[in-house]
Each structure stands twice: as structure tokens, then as C-alpha cells.
Chain A
Amino acid sequence: MERQSHLFTTFVYASALLLAAVILAPILWLFVMSISSAADLSARPLNWWPDEIDLSRYRLLLSTLENSAGAAFTASLFNSIKVAGMATLAAIAVAIPSAWAVSRTPSVSWSLYGVIATYMLPPVALAVPLYMGLAYLGLLNSVFGLALVYLTILAPFTTWLLKSGFDSIPREIESAAMIDGARLDQILRLITLPLAAPVMATSALFAFLLAWDEFFYALLFTSDLRAKTLTVAIADLAGGRVSDYGLIATAGVLAALPPVLIGLLMQRALISGLTSGGVKG
């Protein structure tokens, strides 16, 4: 351990405080806006802390009364859950067999690079045909259509994550079972998949977050309550003529809550994923 001078220690603590303030200030402000009254938010000089805590906007947004702001918000919340859930399940389902195959078969491992390369494609390069295709199939403004489109992002991503997960499970376990006469489907079902369960769960959560965060395709391919997702609903609120900024902030807090909780719970997985370069920025 190196000796640290007083000056250096002070410097470290001052920098740590500064960093904490930079990270926390905008997030705290989003929360404060969501619980401040409209009068507090439009006061000059600004009231940095509300005189009275106002939770009415949370009640408003989470209510499901017909034709209220809440009905639109909760509809988009459910659409986001549906789209992200379906896309994640479908992505994991196609990724498991292919990730295992790539992990165990050196002769096809090059194909993984092709899969990863698609990840660099800007969404605008696919958007026009996807729009025309969905229109042709009658899947515009549909949660199914949007979930299908999300596979462009989630399928390569989960394959990549699961492949490195399978790599860490020793092949010897599988060969031993094979010598004992187990069939491939039995090996996968009884040995490999249970061992890979934590990796699959992590990949599924990351995939879900990615879909939850998606905005571009959702903006293009959805138009009303039947399929609009949370990100589009919030962008509508932010860009519209809503006069109550607290309401926009409240929608932001509610939309951020699930990913922030997942992010904090998965710190360890996130950081180990970062070191292997497997997590999108």
C-alpha cells in the first residue's frame, strides 16, 4: 500500500463528491420535478424543493380511467412490456441452439462474426423495406410487428452473449454424458441448459432492457394506443404542448424505474459483461 498524503486524500474525496453530484443532480431533479406542484416549477427564482409534496401525477398516470392521460400512459406501458417480452422470448429461443452450435463447432465459428457485423448496421438501412413489408403484412401499428422488427437487434445480441456463456461450460461434461449414451436433446435439456441458466437469465434481461429502450423503430412503426410504446409516448409528451413539466418528469421516472432497478440488481453481471466487451453502450 502506498502512503497517501493529506492533500491527496482531500483531493480524492473532493473529486468523489463532484462525481457523485454530477451523476445524481439530473436524476434527483427529474424526481423533484415529478413531485413538485406546477406553481413551484414555474416560479422565479425556481423552488429547488417543493413546499408540499404533490403525488397527484403518479395517481393520474397510473389510473386507467378511459380517455384520461393515464389510460394513454398505461396502454403504452403494457405495449412496451408486451413488445419487449415477446421479442426477448423469440430472440432467446432462436439464439440458444445457434449459440450452442457456434460454441461447440469450430468449423462454423466464423459465422458468429457475420452475426455480430449486422450489429453495426444503422437501423435506417433497414427501415424503409421493413416499413413496406409490415404494411404489406398488415403489421404496422401492431405489437407483433414491432416485436418481429426488434429481432433485428435482439437476435444477434443474445446469440453473442449466450455463445460466450456456453464457452464457459466445459465440453467434457457433455462428452461424458454422450459416452453414457445420452442423446443430444437429453444432453442439452438435462445438462447444458440448466448449467447455462444464469447466463440465459442475464442475456434475457439485457435483451429486455434493449427492447425497452428502443425508440427509432417504435416511432416509425406505431401510431396509436394499440401499439405505441413507452419511449414514443414520452417523446410525444416531451414534444407536445403539455404545459405541466412535472407530468413529463413523472412519466420519465416511471419509465426509468424498471431498467434502473434491473441495472442496480445486475451490477455484477453488467461489469463482467463490460470486461468481455459484450454489452451495448
Chain B
Amino acid sequence: MSGTWITTRAWLLMLPLLVVMIAVIGWPLVDTVRLSFTDAKLVGTEGTFVGFDNYAKMLGGSNFQRAFVTTAWFAVVSVTAEMVLGVLAALLLNQQFRGRTALRALMILPWALPTVVNATLWRLIYNPEYGALNAALTQIGLIDSYRSWLGEPGSALTALIIADCWKNFPLVALIALAALQAVPRDITAASLVDGAGPFNRFRYVILPYLAGPLLVALVLRTIEAFKVFDIIWVMTRGGPANSTRTLSILVYQEAFSFQRAGSGASLALIVTLLVTVLAVAYAALVRKAAGAS
């Protein structure tokens, strides 16, 4: 069979997927770009061309800047914590001890719990009147009176980050564990004979095996964290006093709560651009790391 026929046949087989992707991804994306240059409303008015007005308004507004900082803080702190806790848990699970298999199976639970259920669960735990956190901390004597963890701007974002980390660090742990199990035993044994201490052994013998998979996990988790919506919407809806309003929440409010489709679309594209820049930067990093090892 000729090469052209094989290529043509491949495109024919991909036709259904291409049609679906154009209908539900390609067209909406192009239309978002079009809308972002208009003053269209979500329902009713078609909108007229306004050039870069929406972009200027959104980028210059204090809402965007504050949401950007909130999102970046959420992403950096939660992903860093997830990476550190995940690697520590993986190092533990890589040891020999009784109950290890059961503990590894437990790690699946937070991953499998639906995001909305996780958010609801933590919302109940943080409840200012009956929550388990308040009850536990009071009973140990760490706090005197019940506090509104999600109701105070000072603690809401941290409370959210903890809930997010609890759900996601086990996944990082499982990825890191799989990588750890690929480290040949001879190498760790040899480093032991050569007199490497635990820290040097981790840094120079084990970490190179972990770097690739961890970097991929880092990329995926950061992109996910930058797009975060569900957990925040269910736990705080961006409040109190907008202290947990991330970029996705801001887009939702602009486009759907206030029905300003045009400026909402421009904001959505700014977020998309930020995520793309992140992804490309990371991809370069991954390639460099792959080339170095």
C-alpha cells in the first residue's frame, strides 16, 4: 500500500474525532475570541465591535490583579506542599513494613473522592458552629472559642489550600512511588557501600530517577491549580471579601453572574494565555531535564 493512501486512511479514521473536536472545542474557542472584541451580553444583545476595550478594562482593573495574585498564591503554595508531602509519603511507602500494601491502597481514596464531595466534606469540617476542626482544637486546648475558618479573609485561602492538598498529594505520592520502585537496587546498595549518607543518597542517587515523573506531575498539577474553580466555588464562592476569588471564579462572575459575555470572554482568554505560557515554559523545562539526564 502506498504511503499517501495510508495517510489518507488515517485522516478518514480520525474524521469523527476531528468533527467532534471542531464542534465542541474549535468553534467555541474561535467564538470566544470574537466575543472578546465585542460588548455582547450573555442573553439578548449581539454586541458591537469594541476593539481591545475589554482587554484594557480587564487587565487594568484591580479585580483582575487581585485574582491573579490569589490564583498564583493558591497554585504555588498548594502545588509545592503537594510535591513535598507526596515525595515524603512515597519515600515512606517505599520502605518495608507491615500494612504497606493497605496503606498504598488507602492513598487511592482522596484521589477517587469527587472534587465536589471533597469540598463539601472540608466545608463541614471547617464549619464555624459544629465543625470537627473547631471541636478538636478546642478539646486539645489549642483554641479557646470556635472560629469561622472559611468566614475570615485571613484564614479562608489557607483553609482551601489544605483541603486541596489533602486531595491531591496522594496522587503525587503514587507517581513518586512508581518512580522510586524503578530505582535499581544495585545502585542504592553500591552507594551504601561507598559510604553515602541518607541525604546524599537521596540527592545524588534517588532524585535523578524521580526528577522526570515529578516534573510531569508538577506541570499537570500547576496547570490544574491555575484553572481551579470547583473546590473554591463549593467552599467559599470566592469570598469572604473576595479573598479567595481566583481567575476562574472571576470569569464566571463576569460572564455568567453579570452576563457580560464580551468582557468575560476577554478575561477567559487572558487566563488561557497565562496557562499556555506556563505550559510552554514547563515543557521547555521538561525537555531540558530530559536532555540533561
- Say whether B272 contacts A125, CB under 8 Å: yes
**In the complex where A24-B106, A129-B31 touch, is A105 in contact with B6 (Cβ < 8 A)?**
yes
Interface residues in B147-201 by Cβ distance below 8 A to A read 166, 168, 170-171, 174-175, 178-179, 182, 189, 192
Residue A275 is within 8 A (CB to CB) of chain B in the complex: yes
Are the C-beta atoms of A101 and B220 separated by less than 8 Å?
no
Contacting pair B124 A33 (CB below 8 A): yes
Interface contact A30-B121, CB-CB below 8 Å: yes
Please name the residue on chain A nearest to B226 by beta carbon: A122
- CB nearest to B267 among chain A residues: A124
Cα distance A209–B222 in the bound complex, in angstroms: 21
B208 sits at the interface (CB 8 A): no
Residue B48 lies at the interface, judged by CB distance under 8 Å to chain A = no
Question: Do the beta carbons of B92 and A19 come within 8 Å of each other?
Answer: yes
Q: Is the CB of A159 within 8 A of B124?
A: no
Which of B31, B109, B124, B171 makes the CB contact (< 8 A) with A274?
B171
Flag whether A53 is at the interface (Cβ < 8 A): no
B9 near A281 with CB under 8 A, answer: no
In the complex the two chains form, is A128's CB within 8 Å of B261's CB?
A: yes
User: Looking at the complex, which of A54-62, A194-202, A213-221 is the stretch in contact with chain B?
Assistant: A213-221
- Whether B272 contacts A29 by the Cβ 8 Å rule is no
A10 to B164 Cα, complex, angstroms: 30
For window 208-251 of chain A, which residues contact chain B by CB distance below 8 Å?
209, 212-213, 215-216, 219-220, 230-231, 234-235, 237-239, 245, 248-249
B252 within 8 A of A: yes
Contacts of A23 in B (CB 8 A): 106-107, 109-110, 170
Q: Does any Cβ of B come within 8 Å of A74's Cβ? A: no
* Most interface-central of A100, A128, A131 (chain B CB within 10 A): A128
Report the minimal beta-carbon distance from B109 to chain A, rounded to whole angstroms.
6
Size band of the interface chain B makes with A = 35 or more
Chain A residues lying within 8 Å of B279, measured Cβ to Cβ, are 120
Please name all residues of chain B whose beta carbon is closer than 8 Å to the beta carbon of A215 when the two chains form the complex.
115-116, 229-230, 233-234
Q: In the complex the two chains form, what is the Cα distance from A249 to B20 in whole Å?
A: 38
> CB distance B112 to A259 under 8 Å?
yes
The answer to whether B66 has its CB under 8 Å from any CB of chain A is no
> B180 to chain A: closest CB distance in Å?
11
Nearest chain B CB to A213 CB, angstrom units? 5
Contact B268 A152 (CB under 8 A): no
Decide yes or no whether A44 CB sits under 8 A from chain B: yes
Closest B residue to A13 by beta carbon equals: B97
A135 to B10, CA, bound (A): 35
Query: A252 → chain B, closest Cβ, in Å?
Result: 4
List 29 A–B pairs whose Cβ atoms lie within 8 Å, in order of A's numbering.
A13-B97, A16-B92, A23-B109, A90-B20, A97-B17, A101-B11, A101-B14, A105-B6, A105-B7, A107-B6, A111-B14, A122-B271, A124-B267, A124-B268, A124-B271, A125-B28, A126-B25, A127-B256, A128-B265, A152-B25, A215-B233, A216-B229, A231-B115, A249-B121, A260-B113, A262-B112, A274-B175, A274-B178, A277-B213
Contacts beyond the supplied A46-B139, A98-B14, A148-B24: 17 A-B pairs with Cβ under 8 Å: A20-B103, A26-B122, A27-B109, A27-B110, A27-B121, A29-B132, A122-B248, A126-B25, A128-B265, A231-B114, A231-B115, A231-B230, A238-B120, A256-B113, A256-B114, A277-B213, A281-B171
Q: Which residues of B contact A (CB under 8 A)?
A: 3, 6-7, 9-11, 13-14, 16-18, 20-21, 24-25, 27-29, 31-32, 35, 42-43, 89, 92, 95, 97, 99-100, 103, 105-117, 119-125, 127, 129-130, 132, 135, 138-139, 166, 168, 170-171, 174-175, 178-179, 182, 189, 192, 213, 216-217, 220-221, 223-224, 226-227, 229-230, 233-234, 237, 248, 251-252, 255-256, 261, 264-265, 267-269, 271-272, 275-276, 279
| A-B residue pairs, 6 tightest by C-beta | A263-B112, A46-B135, A129-B31, A105-B10, A101-B13, A129-B28
Query: Which positions in A face B, CB cutoff 8 Å?
Result: 2, 9, 12-13, 15-16, 19-20, 22-24, 26-27, 29-30, 33, 41-42, 44-46, 90, 93-95, 97-98, 100-102, 104-105, 107-108, 111, 115, 118, 120-133, 135, 148-149, 151-152, 155-156, 159, 184, 209, 212-213, 215-216, 219-220, 230-231, 234-235, 237-239, 245, 248-249, 252, 255-256, 259-260, 262-264, 267, 270-271, 274-275, 277, 280-281
